[in-house]
Amino acid sequence: MRLFSQKSKLIISIVALIVAVALMCTVTFAWFTIVASTGEVSFVVARINSKISLYKALDNNYDGIPNFGIDANEPIGTPEHFQYTIIDSSQAVAESAANINMNMELTNLQPTQIHIFKIYIINNSEASNTIRMVFSGYDVHNYPNNSTSNTYTSSDFDNFIDCLSLISVRVGQDNNGNIVYGDKIYLGNTIFTDDSGNKVCNLTIMSGVDIASILQPSQNKMNIYLRFEVETLDSLTASVIDGGAGMTMTNQEYQEYQGRSFVLPLLKVYLEID
Protein backbone atom coordinates (compact mmCIF):
# COMPACT_ATOMS: atom_id res chain seq x y z
CA MET A 1 0.00 0.00 0.00
CA ARG A 2 2.81 2.38 0.87
CA LEU A 3 4.45 1.75 -2.53
CA PHE A 4 1.15 2.37 -4.28
CA SER A 5 0.64 5.48 -2.23
CA GLN A 6 4.08 6.80 -3.16
CA LYS A 7 3.44 5.99 -6.83
CA SER A 8 0.07 7.70 -6.63
CA LYS A 9 1.61 10.81 -5.13
CA LEU A 10 4.26 10.80 -7.84
CA ILE A 11 1.69 10.44 -10.61
CA ILE A 12 -0.50 13.13 -9.08
CA SER A 13 2.49 15.47 -8.80
CA ILE A 14 3.44 14.87 -12.44
CA VAL A 15 -0.12 15.47 -13.60
CA ALA A 16 -0.33 18.66 -11.49
CA LEU A 17 2.96 19.86 -12.96
CA ILE A 18 1.72 19.21 -16.51
CA VAL A 19 -1.53 21.02 -15.82
CA ALA A 20 0.32 23.95 -14.27
CA VAL A 21 2.69 24.23 -17.24
CA ALA A 22 -0.23 24.02 -19.65
CA LEU A 23 -2.11 26.74 -17.80
CA MET A 24 0.98 28.93 -17.70
CA CYS A 25 1.49 28.53 -21.44
CA THR A 26 -2.14 29.38 -22.09
CA VAL A 27 -1.96 32.52 -19.95
CA THR A 28 1.38 33.49 -21.45
CA PHE A 29 0.08 32.97 -24.97
CA ALA A 30 -3.01 34.99 -24.18
CA TRP A 31 -0.87 37.80 -22.75
CA PHE A 32 1.36 37.84 -25.80
CA THR A 33 -1.68 37.69 -28.05
CA ILE A 34 -3.14 40.78 -26.40
CA VAL A 35 0.14 42.63 -26.71
CA ALA A 36 0.44 41.66 -30.35
CA SER A 37 -3.09 42.77 -31.13
CA THR A 38 -2.72 46.09 -29.34
CA GLY A 39 0.58 46.57 -31.10
CA GLU A 40 -1.32 46.90 -34.36
CA VAL A 41 -3.06 50.03 -33.05
CA SER A 42 -1.09 53.26 -32.86
CA PHE A 43 -1.65 54.76 -29.43
CA VAL A 44 -0.32 58.32 -29.55
CA VAL A 45 -0.40 60.81 -26.71
CA ALA A 46 -1.80 63.97 -28.32
CA ARG A 47 0.83 66.57 -27.51
CA ILE A 48 -1.24 68.96 -29.62
CA ASN A 49 -4.88 69.15 -28.65
CA SER A 50 -6.16 72.63 -29.31
CA LYS A 51 -9.35 74.35 -30.34
CA ILE A 52 -8.98 77.32 -32.67
CA SER A 53 -11.87 79.70 -33.31
CA LEU A 54 -12.06 82.57 -35.78
CA TYR A 55 -14.21 85.63 -35.02
CA LYS A 56 -14.91 88.88 -36.84
CA ALA A 57 -15.56 92.11 -34.95
CA LEU A 58 -18.98 93.71 -35.35
CA ASP A 59 -17.99 97.27 -36.18
CA ASN A 60 -20.65 99.49 -37.75
CA ASN A 61 -18.22 102.38 -38.21
CA TYR A 62 -15.25 100.31 -39.44
CA ASP A 63 -13.05 102.40 -37.17
CA GLY A 64 -11.21 99.47 -35.59
CA ILE A 65 -13.27 99.57 -32.37
CA PRO A 66 -15.87 96.77 -32.17
CA ASN A 67 -19.45 97.57 -31.23
CA PHE A 68 -19.94 97.64 -27.47
CA GLY A 69 -23.05 96.00 -26.07
CA ILE A 70 -24.83 92.67 -25.63
CA ASP A 71 -25.57 90.13 -28.35
CA ALA A 72 -29.25 89.43 -28.94
CA ASN A 73 -28.86 85.72 -28.09
CA GLU A 74 -27.07 86.32 -24.76
CA PRO A 75 -28.85 85.88 -21.41
CA ILE A 76 -30.35 88.90 -19.66
CA GLY A 77 -27.82 90.36 -17.24
CA THR A 78 -24.76 89.62 -19.39
CA PRO A 79 -22.28 92.51 -18.98
CA GLU A 80 -21.73 94.70 -22.03
CA HIS A 81 -18.63 93.82 -24.03
CA PHE A 82 -16.96 94.23 -27.41
CA GLN A 83 -18.98 92.24 -29.90
CA TYR A 84 -17.59 89.54 -32.20
CA THR A 85 -19.36 87.00 -34.38
CA ILE A 86 -17.88 83.52 -34.84
CA ILE A 87 -16.93 82.49 -38.37
CA ASP A 88 -15.43 79.05 -37.87
CA SER A 89 -14.02 76.72 -35.23
CA SER A 90 -11.64 73.76 -35.69
CA GLN A 91 -9.93 71.13 -33.55
CA ALA A 92 -6.22 70.38 -33.95
CA VAL A 93 -5.11 67.01 -32.53
CA ALA A 94 -1.71 65.54 -33.41
CA GLU A 95 1.53 64.24 -31.95
CA SER A 96 4.05 66.91 -32.90
CA ALA A 97 2.59 69.36 -35.44
CA ALA A 98 -0.78 70.42 -36.80
CA ASN A 99 -2.22 73.24 -38.88
CA ILE A 100 -5.63 74.78 -39.36
CA ASN A 101 -6.68 76.66 -42.51
CA MET A 102 -8.79 79.80 -42.16
CA ASN A 103 -10.49 82.04 -44.71
CA MET A 104 -11.43 85.67 -44.12
CA GLU A 105 -13.42 87.90 -46.43
CA LEU A 106 -13.52 91.69 -46.74
CA THR A 107 -16.55 93.25 -48.44
CA ASN A 108 -17.24 96.65 -50.04
CA LEU A 109 -13.72 98.03 -49.61
CA GLN A 110 -13.61 101.74 -48.82
CA PRO A 111 -10.62 103.94 -47.87
CA THR A 112 -9.64 103.98 -44.16
CA GLN A 113 -11.96 101.08 -43.30
CA ILE A 114 -10.58 98.80 -40.58
CA HIS A 115 -11.63 95.15 -40.28
CA ILE A 116 -10.76 93.28 -37.07
CA PHE A 117 -10.57 89.50 -36.80
CA LYS A 118 -9.84 87.56 -33.61
CA ILE A 119 -8.28 84.10 -33.38
CA TYR A 120 -8.95 82.39 -30.06
CA ILE A 121 -6.76 79.38 -29.17
CA ILE A 122 -7.26 76.98 -26.26
CA ASN A 123 -4.47 74.45 -25.60
CA ASN A 124 -6.02 71.35 -24.01
CA SER A 125 -2.87 69.20 -24.14
CA GLU A 126 -0.32 68.68 -21.39
CA ALA A 127 2.49 70.15 -23.50
CA SER A 128 3.13 73.78 -24.35
CA ASN A 129 2.81 74.59 -28.06
CA THR A 130 4.49 77.12 -30.33
CA ILE A 131 2.24 79.16 -32.61
CA ARG A 132 3.14 80.19 -36.15
CA MET A 133 0.79 81.95 -38.56
CA VAL A 134 1.35 82.24 -42.32
CA PHE A 135 -0.59 83.77 -45.20
CA SER A 136 0.02 81.17 -47.87
CA GLY A 137 -1.11 82.40 -51.23
CA TYR A 138 -4.26 82.09 -53.25
CA ASP A 139 -6.65 79.28 -52.33
CA VAL A 140 -8.49 78.54 -55.59
CA HIS A 141 -11.02 76.32 -53.81
CA ASN A 142 -12.39 79.26 -51.87
CA TYR A 143 -12.51 81.94 -54.55
CA PRO A 144 -15.73 81.37 -56.50
CA ASN A 145 -16.60 83.52 -59.46
CA ASN A 146 -19.87 85.41 -59.74
CA SER A 147 -21.82 82.24 -60.51
CA THR A 148 -22.99 79.68 -57.96
CA SER A 149 -20.15 77.29 -58.77
CA ASN A 150 -16.66 77.35 -57.27
CA THR A 151 -15.01 77.76 -60.67
CA TYR A 152 -11.64 79.44 -60.54
CA THR A 153 -11.15 82.13 -63.20
CA SER A 154 -8.31 84.45 -64.11
CA SER A 155 -10.54 87.45 -63.34
CA ASP A 156 -10.95 86.15 -59.77
CA PHE A 157 -7.20 86.07 -59.43
CA ASP A 158 -6.79 89.57 -60.89
CA ASN A 159 -9.38 90.87 -58.43
CA PHE A 160 -7.48 89.17 -55.61
CA ILE A 161 -4.21 90.87 -56.57
CA ASP A 162 -5.88 94.27 -57.04
CA CYS A 163 -7.63 94.17 -53.67
CA LEU A 164 -4.60 92.82 -51.87
CA SER A 165 -2.65 95.87 -53.00
CA LEU A 166 -4.96 98.11 -50.97
CA ILE A 167 -4.69 96.27 -47.66
CA SER A 168 -2.31 96.43 -44.71
CA VAL A 169 -2.31 94.14 -41.68
CA ARG A 170 -1.11 94.44 -38.10
CA VAL A 171 -1.02 91.59 -35.58
CA GLY A 172 -2.05 92.23 -31.99
CA GLN A 173 -2.02 90.41 -28.66
CA ASP A 174 -3.57 91.03 -25.26
CA ASN A 175 -1.32 92.84 -22.80
CA ASN A 176 -2.89 93.41 -19.37
CA GLY A 177 -6.31 93.96 -20.91
CA ASN A 178 -5.08 96.11 -23.80
CA ILE A 179 -4.47 95.03 -27.39
CA VAL A 180 -0.93 95.85 -28.49
CA TYR A 181 -0.38 95.77 -32.25
CA GLY A 182 2.87 95.24 -34.12
CA ASP A 183 4.17 97.08 -37.16
CA LYS A 184 2.05 97.60 -40.24
CA ILE A 185 2.65 95.25 -43.18
CA TYR A 186 1.47 96.30 -46.66
CA LEU A 187 0.15 93.11 -48.25
CA GLY A 188 0.79 94.43 -51.75
CA ASN A 189 4.52 94.27 -51.00
CA THR A 190 4.28 90.55 -50.19
CA ILE A 191 3.16 89.59 -53.70
CA PHE A 192 5.77 87.84 -55.80
CA THR A 193 5.82 85.87 -59.04
CA ASP A 194 6.55 82.15 -58.83
CA ASP A 195 8.09 79.91 -61.52
CA SER A 196 4.73 79.49 -63.25
CA GLY A 197 4.24 83.25 -63.55
CA ASN A 198 1.49 83.41 -60.94
CA LYS A 199 1.59 86.19 -58.41
CA VAL A 200 1.18 84.75 -54.94
CA CYS A 201 1.51 85.81 -51.33
CA ASN A 202 3.59 84.00 -48.72
CA LEU A 203 3.90 85.93 -45.49
CA THR A 204 4.70 84.83 -41.93
CA ILE A 205 2.88 87.22 -39.61
CA MET A 206 3.65 85.43 -36.34
CA SER A 207 6.24 82.90 -35.18
CA GLY A 208 7.84 81.66 -31.98
CA VAL A 209 4.87 82.55 -29.75
CA ASP A 210 4.32 79.98 -26.99
CA ILE A 211 1.03 78.99 -25.43
CA ALA A 212 1.07 77.12 -22.10
CA SER A 213 -0.40 73.66 -21.50
CA ILE A 214 -3.65 72.83 -19.74
CA LEU A 215 -1.53 72.30 -16.62
CA GLN A 216 -1.37 76.10 -16.45
CA PRO A 217 -5.07 76.93 -16.89
CA SER A 218 -4.53 80.67 -16.54
CA GLN A 219 -2.10 80.71 -19.49
CA ASN A 220 -3.41 78.05 -21.90
CA LYS A 221 -5.77 80.45 -23.69
CA MET A 222 -4.76 83.17 -26.13
CA ASN A 223 -6.42 85.85 -28.28
CA ILE A 224 -4.63 86.97 -31.44
CA TYR A 225 -6.00 89.96 -33.35
CA LEU A 226 -5.61 90.77 -37.05
CA ARG A 227 -6.23 94.41 -37.99
CA PHE A 228 -6.77 94.87 -41.73
CA GLU A 229 -6.94 98.45 -43.03
CA VAL A 230 -7.94 99.73 -46.47
CA GLU A 231 -5.12 102.18 -47.10
CA THR A 232 -5.45 105.61 -48.71
CA LEU A 233 -3.78 106.34 -52.02
CA ASP A 234 -1.34 108.66 -50.25
CA SER A 235 -0.13 105.92 -47.87
CA LEU A 236 0.18 103.38 -50.68
CA THR A 237 2.29 105.68 -52.88
CA ALA A 238 4.37 107.24 -50.09
CA SER A 239 7.97 106.05 -49.87
CA VAL A 240 8.93 103.25 -47.51
CA ILE A 241 11.21 105.66 -45.65
CA ASP A 242 8.17 107.85 -44.97
CA GLY A 243 6.16 104.87 -43.72
CA GLY A 244 4.30 104.18 -46.94
CA ALA A 245 4.11 101.13 -49.20
CA GLY A 246 6.23 102.69 -51.96
CA MET A 247 3.84 101.47 -54.67
CA THR A 248 3.08 102.97 -58.05
CA MET A 249 -0.66 103.48 -58.45
CA THR A 250 -2.74 106.08 -60.24
CA ASN A 251 -5.84 107.72 -58.80
CA GLN A 252 -7.93 106.06 -61.51
CA GLU A 253 -6.63 102.61 -60.55
CA TYR A 254 -7.27 103.31 -56.90
CA GLN A 255 -10.86 104.41 -57.55
CA GLU A 256 -11.53 101.29 -59.61
CA TYR A 257 -10.53 99.03 -56.71
CA GLN A 258 -12.94 100.60 -54.22
CA GLY A 259 -16.21 98.86 -53.40
CA ARG A 260 -14.85 95.44 -54.30
CA SER A 261 -15.01 92.34 -52.11
CA PHE A 262 -12.48 89.55 -51.86
CA VAL A 263 -11.26 86.67 -49.76
CA LEU A 264 -7.93 87.30 -48.08
CA PRO A 265 -4.97 84.95 -48.63
CA LEU A 266 -5.41 81.57 -46.97
CA LEU A 267 -4.25 81.81 -43.35
CA LYS A 268 -2.53 78.75 -41.91
CA VAL A 269 -2.25 78.54 -38.12
CA TYR A 270 0.48 76.09 -37.14
CA LEU A 271 0.83 74.49 -33.70
CA GLU A 272 4.18 72.83 -33.15
CA ILE A 273 6.19 71.02 -30.46
CA ASP A 274 9.86 71.96 -30.19
Same-domain pairing of 29 and 150: no
Average pLDDT over residues 186-214: 83
Judge contact between 263 and 150, C-beta under 8 A: no
Same-domain pairing of 261 and 210: yes
Same-domain pairing of 39 and 53: no
Distance of CA 134 to the CA centre of its chain: 10
Whether the model pTM is above 0.85: no
Structural domains counted in the chain: 2
Judge contact between 220 and 213, C-beta under 8 A: yes
Same-domain pairing of 14 and 110: no
Average pLDDT over residues 61-87: 84
Same-domain pairing of 224 and 160: yes
pLDDT at 73: 75
Same-domain pairing of 88 and 16: no
Same-domain pairing of 246 and 127: yes
Across the chain, mean pLDDT equals: 80
pLDDT band per the 50, 70, 90 thresholds, residue 222: very high
Same-domain pairing of 235 and 143: yes
Same-domain pairing of 35 and 55: no
pLDDT surpassing 80 at residue 171: yes
pLDDT surpassing 90 at residue 25: no
Instruction: Report pLDDT digits (tens) over 250-263.
Output: 999 999 998 998 88
Domain that holds residue 25: 1-43
Same-domain pairing of 27 and 111: no
Same-domain pairing of 34 and 59: no
pLDDT at 150: 59
Same-domain pairing of 28 and 127: no
pLDDT band per the 50, 70, 90 thresholds, residue 147: low
The share of the chain scoring above pLDDT 90, in percent, equals: 41
